[in-house]
Amino acid sequence: MRGRVVGAYQDKHSNVDHYQRSNEVFYGILEADLGESTLLTVGADYQDSDPEGSSWGGIPLLDSAGNFNDMPRSFNNGARWSRWGQYARTGFATLEHTFGNDWVAKLQLNHQVNGYDASLGAAAGGNPDPVTGEGVSMWLGQYIGKTTSNAADLYVSGKFEWFGRQHELVVGGSVSRKRWVNNGYSPQPGYVSSVADYYAWTGDVPEPDWQWGYGDNQVTRESGAYVVGRFDLADPLKLIVGSRIANYKSPDTDESGVVVPYAGLVYDLNRNFSVFASYSTIFKPQGNQDEQGRVLDPLEGRSYEAGLKAEFYDGRLNASAAVFQLEQDNYAQPTGGRTPSGGIAYEGLMGVRTKGYELEVSGQLAPGWQVQGGYAHKIARQQSTKVSTLEPEDQFSVHTSYRLTGVADGWSVGGGARWQGSTFGTITNPATGGSQLHRTEPYWLLDAMARYQFNDQLSATLNVNNLLDKHYYTIFSWYSTYTWGEPRNVRLTLNYRF
């Protein structure tokens, strides 16, 4: 019998006014050998997140005169009592048996409850008058609910000989059931939701008395079977081919016998380089909801990818380059409304095509010198119109660390840089009543790190994120709002390994 227990507690304050959050995590696992070839694993996971002063919606991009509404980075539109508490409870078990011919059978069972208790109030509606601060009202709502999930997966895997070569096969099936219940509440009549002066807002307003408004109770079921084969066709050529048969049922959708095939080829050019190509169909149930609380139909489509992989220094340094294309239906796009539980509401777009490429490198350049970096570019369009424009089309990151020697033995230093291109969306100008395009500026963020290893068990690490204290923000054009990015922040971590 073997066991492991992990516990963590975090009490986090923020640069944002009157916001703080406490997190609790507990994880435990036990392993028992039921025989020489059978292993039983059981475990549980407990997580709690309890915030105070939760924001909601964002900061209006424009004031009532149509000018950029430049608020401090510390501004919090949430009331002091506003909170979006969340919790997760998970229990799991795995039974694994190894047969004498190196085949393995594995059964995985999982029970999970994800819940929330949110009482929310935020100065998020309207646009402030630049002189008086009038013109803003509060978003208000209370949402209490949970999703209970049960899932099982059973598969067998192993190797077999065919035409003088060794191949691998995986055959399995899975089943799951999710039930979402939710209750929504609104303020009782008479509660004053208008904000007298947005620029003097401190979140110091009373919490309303809530009255029940509606309830939700939805059940989603999934099941399927799958088979995967990994074939060694020749010394330099490998083939991966497989398929899944999926069944999906929700209150608004009932699909069965959906065949989801995929295939991939890898060809080794030499000991350092290989090329690959893959194709797969897409059938992916979604958790996104529309404004009525209905879950969007599963994401469906096709995926194509091809690229080059490289490996150097006996695998210590790896690099890759790939191009890809996705063709998707029921692509989730925000509508600007809210779900019954207060979240972002979505609609499913048809015929969205995404094209892009990715470059990555990671590993060891020299003894003690680690590097990880990448560049990604993608554009999604529905016919000729770009979608997902609130996500950057281009992103770049590089991080490196170096372990010092000699008189500085025990020290490691490092740093990184992150860059992303501009994003844009159509917003409403309250001065004209019309629409206009708002585009954010591209930005760089620099980070730094220093670590000292006292001994094999004890180390201390200092991280400085956004080293140059760059001002940047992201937008949510559907609400015509924005959110400031985190300013410079410093974290000191002491780590002891038993």
Give me the pLDDT at residue 443, please.
97
Give me the pLDDT at residue 343, please.
77
For residues 232-242, average pLDDT: 95
3 state DSSP class of 294: coil
Buried b (16+ CB within 10 A) or exposed e, 315-324: eebbbbebeb
Give me the pLDDT at residue 294, please.
83
Confidence band, pLDDT 50/70/90 cuts, at residue 477: confident
Give me the pLDDT at residue 498, please.
77
- Beta-bridged to residue 297, according to DSSP, are none
393: left (phi over 0), alpha (psi -120 to 50) or beta: alpha
pLDDT for 400 beyond 80: yes
Give me the pLDDT at residue 450, please.
97
pLDDT for 262 beyond 90: yes
Confidence band, pLDDT 50/70/90 cuts, at residue 287: confident
Unique residue bearing structure tokens 């048996």: 97
State how far the Cα of 37 lies from the Cα of 99, in Å rounded to an integer. 7
Cβ–Cβ under 8 Å, residues 198 and 135: yes
- What is the DSSP secondary-structure string of 206-232? PPPPEEEEEEEEEEEEEEEEEEEEEEE
Q: CB-based contacts of 283: which residues, under 8 Å, 6+ apart?
A: 244, 246, 248, 258, 260, 298, 299, 300
Work out the mean pLDDT of the chain and round it to a whole number: 94
289 token code pair = 């909801």
Confidence band, pLDDT 50/70/90 cuts, at residue 1: confident
Please state which of the ranges 111-115, 125-129, 191-195, 493-497 shows the lowest mean pLDDT: 493-497
Give me the pLDDT at residue 335, please.
83
pLDDT for 289 beyond 90: no
State how far the Cα of 376 lies from the Cα of 397, in Å rounded to an integer. 9
For residues 434-457, average pLDDT: 95
Furthest-apart CA pair in the chain: how many Å?
A: 83
Residue 63's CB is within 10 A of a number of other CB atoms, namely 22
Q: Which residue has the higher pLDDT, 293 or 385?
A: 385
Q: What is the pTM for the complete model shown?
A: 0.86
pLDDT in tens, 32-51: 999 989 999 999 999 999 99
Give me the pLDDT at residue 339, please.
82
E-strand ranges in 164-296 read 165-187, 194-195, 210-234, 237-249, 254-268, 273-284
Alpha-carbon 318 to chain mean position: 25
State how far the Cα of 284 lies from the Cα of 302, in Å rounded to an integer. 11
For residues 95-107, average pLDDT: 93
Confidence band, pLDDT 50/70/90 cuts, at residue 293: confident
- Which span out of 129-138, 285-294, 326-335 was modeled with the highest average pLDDT? 129-138
State how far the Cα of 399 lies from the Cα of 446, in Å rounded to an integer. 10
CA distances for 418 relative to 361, 421, 441, angstroms = 15, 10, 14
pLDDT in tens, 116-149: 999 999 999 999 999 999 999 999 999 999 999 9
pLDDT in tens, 62-77: 999 999 999 999 999 9
Unique residue bearing structure tokens 């590097």: 371
Secondary structure tally for the chain: helices H, strands E: 0, 29
Confidence band, pLDDT 50/70/90 cuts, at residue 291: confident
Confidence band, pLDDT 50/70/90 cuts, at residue 184: very high
State how far the Cα of 35 lies from the Cα of 326, in Å rounded to an integer. 47
- Beta-bridged to residue 170, according to DSSP, are 157, 228
Confidence band, pLDDT 50/70/90 cuts, at residue 198: very high
> How close are the terminal C-alpha atoms of the chain, in Å?
19
State how far the Cα of 109 lies from the Cα of 432, in Å rounded to an integer. 57
Give me the pLDDT at residue 280, please.
96
pLDDT for 236 beyond 90: yes
State how far the Cα of 276 lies from the Cα of 237, in Å rounded to an integer. 10
Residues of the chain above pLDDT 70, percent: 100
